Structures are given as structure tokens and as C-alpha cells.
Amino acid sequence: MSTPSAPSGSLHAVRVTVNGRPEALRVPARRTLLQVLREDLHLTGTKEGCGVGTCGACTVLVDGRAMLSCLVLAVQADGRTVETIEGLSRDGALDPLQQAFIAHDALQCGFCTPGQVMALRALLRATPHPSLDEIRRAVEGNVCRCGAYPRIQQAALEVARAAEGYR
Amino acid sequence: MAREATPATEPLRVVGRAIPRHDARDKVEARTLYAADWQMPGMLHGAVLRSAYPSARIRRLDVSRAAALPGVAAVLTARDVPRNVLWTDVPGQTSEVGPLRARLVLLADGVVRYQGEPVALVAAETPEVAQRAVEAIDVEYEPLPGVFDPAAALAPGAPRVHEEGNLLARWQIRCGDVERALERADVVIDTTYRCQMVDHAYLEPEAGVAWVDADGVLTIRASTQVIEHFRDVAEVLGVPHNRVRVIAPYVGGGFGGKEDVTVEVFLGLLAWRTRRPVRMVWSRQESLLARAKRHPFVLRYRTGAARDGTLVAQRIELLGDAGAYAYLSALVLLYATVTACGPYRVPNAEVQARVAYTNNPPTSAMRGFGAMQMVLGYESQMDQLARRLGLDPVEVRARNALHKGDRLPVGQQIETRVAVIEAARRAWAGLGPRVAPRTPHHRVGRGLACNIQPYGRIVWLHDWASAWVGIEMDGSVVVRAGVPDIGGGQASALCQIASEVLGVEPAQVAIHIADSALTPLAGTTTATRQLYMSGNAVLAAARELRARVLEVAARLLEAPPGRVELREGAAVAPDGRRVALAQVMKECARLGVPRSHLGVYHAPAGDPVDLARGGRVFPDYTFGAHAVEVEVDTETGAVAVLRHVACHDVGRAINPQSVEGQIQGGAAMGLGYGLLEEVVVEAGVNLTTSLGTYLVPTALDLPDVEPVILESGDGKGPFGARGIGEPPVGPPAAAVANAIEDATGVRITELPITPERVARALGLLESPAPGRA
């Protein structure tokens, strides 16, 4: 079974903005941000690959920084802004990273893809024109067992080289 | 990428184009609902109690405390399973394979044979309660002596893993007079190699949801490569096959690890008992602990050659570790046996292969399936031979490579082009100018490894696939095929083929896959068979449909039927007049001409072969070669792969982008196997149950693998394609080992090639190597 929360008596109030939408939740102290996203908010785009911070599949942005949502307690997200893969495409228009992933065939099974995209989004927000080395380091914690690494890096490079930068 | 231009036998519009994959948009938006993303009202959560011991008797198993916990809906043990033993033929196949049938115990019945073996199942209102219930099951174990090494397992007096003894399967091949040929050889290379147990480690752990649907049909939506497991679930429950339905959503990686049953039967049992939807998701720890893995092998190779490098004889002894249950071990060993001599002419050959039960984690299917482990053996031998005789590594392979029409040692004649020489030359040349070492203590070297890998299932299985292709009234196309898509672009390739034949854009094709109740059965997504098998089935269906449509269209256009074409969603006459497909469909409807067709493809079939007498075993093979350049740090033993060129003849690249992805991904997995990965098992206890200890390569561990696609047009798949899913995983480890000898002069014979192993070989460490478990 996927990582269960430890039993807990009391619930804690958490106010968190997810993909621009304010959410008011009551959660057990041990519930992770990943569990809240997937099970309570039904945002299943964020994946659980290991539950213990070793694969990167659950990467989301917390206040703009890439974080492993399986290692963040929901109560720690109180008052913060969380962005998940579901927040990227708006009104049917894809994010440049998503477009580049399609163009470079930067995925196979697709299970690590949301985490890869979110890790790169955090990089490009902070560093609009990163080098290949910076790109590799940004996704070094995101395992792709299908081995699409070179294609993921090429997709990211294309976005990094865009003159207008990344939004 | 480099791509060999070959004259197409027919002009192709869509096949051969690097178009975006059908499933790509959903995946980048994360709209794809994988197995664990599915929720249902009133859903329970399933969990498995697993054995803590690798070998023990269960003296007492008491579930009463667990069953009494609030929120627990069911606790099941062996006695609750209507039929607790599954006789697994090759998954998904309908023909029996006699001696290859394997007995699988679903829930331990009195005895546990490996650490992590399922003992009991729980369904509860929340995952937390399910976990508490698992921990509240009282089990009293009496540890028993176990056996943890296949050689020890075959020694007299070894503890028996199963009553029938520890030898699970044995195969042998003999051709010519090996004894005499080895005596007369100018040179004999005699080396023993060892390859390790590894894990599939797909990112998506095993998961699924089951519920009892309308009309009492048990429906299981699970991450699987084999929807035909509906039959296994039905057998276990004792219900008719037509009351179980398996749906495979897009799978988050399979690599063979989702070929045998994982969660399917457990979900079925829990949903059937509780009559409520049940979800089961294995943790990463559970997946690494208990699911079947890749076979470790000990490979002893003796290769005799003439002074000019021509092979004269090979004697090979193989010993594999099956772990505690048979699963597909007998078949994996068969693949190993048939391909053990590699893609070379070996006039006198003997292969003796055995696989033994131990109390280690079970081993079964994994990408490359026995054939990939052999590459370390035959390609190390070729390189050692070249070095001994002072020959060029490409030249020694070219001198011995198989050609179309040659026979493998098993007696099977190769019916298609063998591009080994071309692949070896292209890969080797692709390395470009040699890189200079960075420091005086670094050494740079190059290695080459070729391989042979079957695609499609053993001919005895009479393999077949079916697919349905139809045209809707508006001219849009629908494909239905029971094909699980495990990330290789399986569904997308079928769209591309239908699009090619029916003259519509790929985006105008909708495909419905992998539902055992609603899509025609296509067989498993394993054995590098889906593009080959289902590609041919879709091609057959689409061609039949096209023939009918063209006949009707020709009448509408008042043109000769043989001269009308389908393109851009219309039927087009030689003079350019056109009628839209929608219009043709209306006419078909008026005339009662069917607007769909069920295509069936039958692979070449044959009778079971006594390998010692020989015959045809596989439909065909894919050939390739990888070349690597490595840098070895002679102070630490660390190895960095600087360049990697991977070349395979894929017959025809239906989507070159997907083919490149398969080659790069296979090479990445092969490099992980060669350099990093090992399931470490000590006295049956798995020490690598997290991705922190089981090391999968990351973006920083790998070079950019350069794929080189050869298109001979000479394969048995659609448009002359060959399978490419498994082949690229084979060569990297051997290529790296060969490059290390080129760089440093030391030969590494054991995987993975860790810095410690290299340092030992270089004489940097004085302490003896720790004993193997």
C-alpha cells in the first residue's frame, strides 16, 4: 500500500493556495502534502514513486521552490502557495515546457513527467537561461527509469534558449 | 541521430515520420489516470502481510485481532482462497506449454520460501487502518534452514525449497564435436562471468482498483502488461472466465515486472469477498522487497578460435537463480540457452544451462529475458579473443557474424538480414576522435558489444493478436486493441499504422486499448511483440477495410477500383476528383458494406523443440551493436562513460522518435545494470528496498546515448519492422567491461562494475573481496 499516515487524533486547520485557488483543509498532523494533493484535492497529476524522497515523482512548487511533496507535511504548507502540474496549462494552452516535452518526445511511460516538468519550472523561474549543466543538476533527483534523460534535457534547453525567457 | 536511408517498397505518408506521440499531450498535462489515480465511492484499501523470513514454517497464523479492528472489512489467508495455487503458463497465452508450467502459491500455506512472500490480505476503510490490521495479524514463524545460492542449492543434502527438488529446469544444445574442436583450436579463452540480480524499478509501483460491476462481473483496473490475467483471477476465484474483466490504464513502466500477476489476484479476492471497490497500491519498499526480479547468472565460457580469429567451438555452462518460485524461469533460461553463442557462427557448440530454486526473491521476466545476460559472456569472450590474437574488435566480429540463411547452434535458420557487421562498424565509427585523458591517473578506453535478441514469442505458443479497425460515419477512424501501453508508444504506433493505410491524419485516429471485455485480445505487452504482433493485426484490419472502402469509392467516382487512393480523409481518383470519406461511409451504409474489420495476425508457429535435436524456436531476431568510450580513474576505480553510440537494425522505424527513445532508454537501463544496480541479498534478506540503496541511474550518471537506426526493411513486423523494446538493454554492460580492459588492461568479469571492483582489479585494495552471500 502507499505510504499511510500514522494514526492521529486531532485535526489541524491548513490554509493553502493551490494553483491559485485558496483551500481550507483540516488534516491530521502526519498527513503529507502529497496525500492532501492526491487524495483530498484529487490532483492526481503529482505522483508517488517512493514516498520517502528518493525519486522526485512528487515534485511540486511551494512558494516557487521545487519540493518533494512526500517530505512536506500538509501543516507545513499552511499559509503557502503550492503549484502542481495541473496548474500549468491554462485555457487549453500548454506551458512552453510541456510543449517542448512533446516536441522532443521527452517521455515514455510519463509517470516521472510531472515531477520533471515541475523541477525544471522552478529552475527556469529562478534562472531564465540555464546552462545544460544547470539543467542536469536541477533534475538529478528526478528518476526516469525509461531513460529519457537526454530528451528531457534537450526539451529544457529549448525553453532555456528562448529569447523571451520563461514566464 | 543518424538514420540509414533505405528505398521504401511503397511510398509512405505517415509511417517513418517522427510525429508527436498519441499519448504525449495527456502525459505532459498529467491527465493520464494511472492505476493508483483511480478512486471509487465507498472504496476500501487493500494491504498485504508479507513474510519476515526467507525460509520458515508458519506455526500459527491468527487474524482475530486484525479482523476485530474497527474499519477492517476483510482479512484473508490461504484458507480463504478458493484455489490458492496458480499454474502459470506463459502469461496471456492460451496454448499450454507443458513442462514450462509453473506453480505459484498465492498466499503462503504453512511455509514461507522467501522474505516478502504474501501471507495474508487485508481490506479496510483507510490505508492507515489497513496497515494497522496487517501489523495486528499474529504469525508465529519457525525459521527453517534455507539455501541462498544456486550452486549450493544443487549440492547434495541442500535444504529443499520445494518437495520436488531444487533443479527447476535444464536445457542443452549440442552441435558438432566441441571436444575435438576445442582441442584443435589455436587459442582457447576460458573465463567465468557473474551477473547480478536487478530490479525493474519502474517509477509506478504496482497498483490497481477492483470492483464488482453490473451483472456480477469482477472488474480490475490495474497496472499490468497482461490483461489476459482475467483468466488467472477467474481460476483463483472459481468463477467463469467471462465474469472477470481486466483493464490496463497507461502503465507507468513495466520492463517485464508487470508480466506475472502482481496486485490483480489480491484485488480480485478482496473485492469479491467484500463486494466493495478495493484499491491496492504497493509501496516502493514492498515492490523492491518482494516482486520478481532479473535472474543472476554464473556464465562459464570456453571459446576456441583459429589464429585468424575464426570461431571453431564454444562450450558454455550457465547457472541461474530462480529464487523461491518458478514464475518464468524455465523460459528465461531457454532464451539464454538459445542466444548464448551470440550473433556469431559457431560450428561446434555446447550449452548446458540450469536454473535452481533458492530462498532468494523470485526471479522472472525483465527486459532482455535471459538473452541480455548472455551478452556479458559472449562479448567479453570476443574481446578477449581479439586482444589475445591482436585483432581489431570490429574485425573479429565481422569475421564471425551470422548472415541471413545461417543457422544458430540450436538449428534455427535466420530468415532475415543480419546487420551485425554494419551495426558494429557504425557504432564504432560513431565514437569519433579519441578523447585524451584528463589527468595522468585517468585512462581512456573503448569497447564494443554486439547482440542478438528475439522478438515475438516462442513459435510453440502459436502466438496471435487481434485488432479491430473501423471508420465512423464522419470519416474518423477508431482502433480497438487489447494492448497495454507501458510507455513504449505501443498505442501511438498502431494509430500511425491505421493512419497510413486509411489516409487520415494520425490525430484523426482514436484508439481504445487494453480492456479484456471490450477490446479484441492482442496478447501481452512483453517479449518485444506488440509492434510486431498487434502492428500486423492492425495492418491486416486496416488493409481489408481499405479494400472495401475503395471498391465503394470507385463506384462513386466512376473510376477503376485499382486506381483510387485514400488520402487526406478522402478517396481520390487518378484525375484528382475526390469524395470525402464521410460520403463513402454513407454509401457503405446504404449498400450494407461493413465499415469495420477485425484483423488477426498469426505468428509463425511450430511444434515444441527438443533443443538438443534442434529446430526453430523464435519467429525472428533483432541485431545491434553498442560502442562506448570510458574514462577510468586509476586512483579510485571510478568509471565514467564519456560516449555511447547504440546502433540497431529495426527493420523499419514506424516512428523514428519513439525508436530513438527505446534505444536510448534501453541503453540507460543497460548502463545502470553494468555500473550501478544490484539487489543485494544476504542469507535471503533483501538489503536494497529503497531507491536510496538500490541505485537507479540519474541524469548525472549517464552520457547522452547517441542512437543510430538502421532500416534493412527486412523484419517480420508491419512495413518490415523488427521489435526494439528489449534489444538495446543487452550490449552496454559488456561494452563497458571491454572498454575498461582497453583503458587499463584489467578484465572485469562481474557486474555491476563498481569502483570497488575496478580498484580491486587494479590492485589498489589489499583486503580480500568480501564473500558472496
Residue tagged 508508444 (cell numbers): B489
Q: Are residues A142 and B30, on separate chains, in Cβ contact within 8 Å? A: no
Q: Residue B487 is nearest to which of A52, A88, A146, comparing CB atoms?
A: A146
Do B533 and B489 reside in the same domain of the chain?
A: yes
Whether residues B648 and B686 fall in one domain: yes
Same domain, B486 and B598: yes
Interchain contact B696–A (C-beta under 8 A): yes
In a shared domain, residues B344 and B474: no
- R_g of chain B, CA atoms, integer Å: 27
Cα B706 from Cα B662, distance rounded (Å): 12
Tens digit of pLDDT per residue, chain A (167 long)? Answer: 456 655 557 999 999 999 999 999 999 999 999 999 999 999 999 999 999 999 999 999 999 999 999 999 999 999 999 999 999 988 889 999 999 999 999 999 999 999 999 999 999 999 999 999 999 999 999 999 999 999 999 999 999 999 888 87
CB contact under 8 A, B203 and A57: yes
Same domain, B621 and B593: no
Do the domain assignments include residue B509?
yes
- Is there a single domain that holds both residue B373 and residue B473? no
B565 falls within a domain:
yes
Cell 513442462 belongs to which residue? B99
Q: pLDDT band at B7, cuts 50/70/90?
A: very low
- B206 contacts chain A (CB < 8 A): no
Residue B772 has pLDDT above 50, yes or no: no
Q: Are residues B210 and B306 in the same domain?
A: no
CATH code (residue B249): 3.90.1170.50
Which domains does chain A carry?
A: 11-87 (3.10.20.30), 96-161 (1.10.150.120)
Cβ atoms within 10 Å, residue A19 = 19
Would the ipTM clear 0.90, i.e. be above it? yes
CB-nearest to A94 from B21, B28, B39 is B28
A4: closest chain B residue by CA: B128
pTM score over 0.90: yes
Per-residue pLDDT tens digits for B281-299:
999 999 999 999 999 999 9
* pLDDT tens profile B614-649: 899 999 999 999 999 999 999 999 999 999 999 999
B473: contact with A, CB 8 A cutoff: no
Q: Is B289 inside a domain boundary?
A: no
Q: Which of B281, B307, B324 is the last residue of a domain?
A: B281
**What does B127-171 look like in DSSP terms, one character per residue?**
HHHHHHHHHH-EEEEEE-----SHHHHHSTTPPPSSTT-SEEEEE
Question: Structurally, how many domains does chain B consist of?
Answer: 3
Among candidate residues B562, B582, B602, the one where a domain is terminated: B602
B 273-332 near A (Cβ less than 8 A):
280-284, 286
pLDDT tens by residue, B53-102: 999 999 999 999 999 999 999 999 999 999 999 887 666 666 655 566 77
The CATH number for B474's domain is 3.30.365.10
- Taking the CA of residue B486 and the nearest CA in chain A, the distance in Å comes to 6
B167 assigned to some structural domain: no
Inter-chain touch A52–B487, beta carbons under 8 Å:
no
> Rounded to whole angstroms, how far apart are CA atoms B258 and B255?
7
The chain A residue lying nearest B286, using CA atoms, is: A1
User: Are B354 and B239 in a shared domain?
Assistant: no
| Tens-place pLDDT, residues B14-48 | 999 999 999 999 999 999 999 999 999 999 999 99
- Say whether B124 sits in a helix, a strand or coil: strand
Q: CB contact, 8 Å: B669 with chain A?
A: yes
Question: Does B41 touch chain A if contact means CB atoms closer than 8 Å?
Answer: no
- Please choose, from the candidates B714, B727, B713, the residue with its C-alpha nearest in 3D space to the C-alpha of residue B659: B727
Contact assignment for B203 to A49 by CB distance below 8 Å: yes
The pLDDT of B487-504, averaged and rounded, is 97
Q: Are residues B498 and B435 in the same domain?
A: no
Q: What residue numbers bound the domain in which B228 lies?
A: 35-144+206-281
Tell me if B348 is assigned to some domain: yes
Tens of pLDDT, residue by residue over A97-139, are: 999 999 999 999 999 999 999 999 999 999 999 999 999 999 9
**Residue B474 in contact with residue B604, Cβ under 8 Å?**
no
Q: How far is A116 from chain B (nearest CA, A)?
A: 10
**Are B249 and B266 contained in the same domain?**
yes
Tens digits of per-residue pLDDT, B91-150? 666 665 556 677 889 999 999 999 999 999 999 999 999 999 999 999 999 999 999 999
B641 in a structural domain: yes
Q: Do A108 and B665 touch (CB under 8 A)?
A: yes
Residue B418, all three cell numbers: 543480419
Beta carbons of A2 and B36 less than 8 Å apart: yes
- Regarding whether B23 and B68 lie in a shared domain, the answer is no
